[in-house]
Amino acid sequence: MKTRVFGIMSLALLASASVASAQSFTYVSTSSAPSTLVGGAGPDGRPFGAAAWSGTSELMMDGKKVMSNFTCVSMTQPNNAKVFDQHMICNGGDAGGTWTSTWGCAGAQATGMSCWGHLQGLTGGYAKRIGVISGSGKGTMQTGSGQWNP
Q: CB under 8 Å to 70, separation ≥6 — which residues?
A: 7, 9, 10, 11, 29, 54, 55, 56, 57, 90, 91, 92, 93
Q: Any idea what the CATH number is for the domain that residue 88 is in?
A: 2.40.160
129 part of a folded domain = yes
Summarize pLDDT for 83-107 with one digit per residue, the tens.
Answer: 899 999 999 999 999 999 999 999 8
3 part of a folded domain = no
Q: 58, 37, 59: which is closest to 48 by C-alpha?
A: 37
- pLDDT for 37 equals 86
2 part of a folded domain = no
Q: 32, 39, 34, 14: which is closest to 24 by C-alpha?
A: 14
- pLDDT for 22 equals 78
Per-residue pLDDT of the chain (150 residues; tens, 9 = 90+): 333 434 433 333 333 344 456 789 999 999 998 888 898 887 777 778 899 999 999 999 888 999 999 999 999 988 777 889 999 999 999 999 999 999 999 988 778 899 999 999 999 999 999 999 999 999 889 999 999 998
142 part of a folded domain = yes
55 part of a folded domain = yes
94: containing domain: 9-148
Structural domains in the chain (count): 1
pTM of the model as a whole? 0.80
56 part of a folded domain = yes
- pLDDT for 11 equals 38
13 part of a folded domain = yes
4 part of a folded domain = no
- pLDDT for 110 equals 76
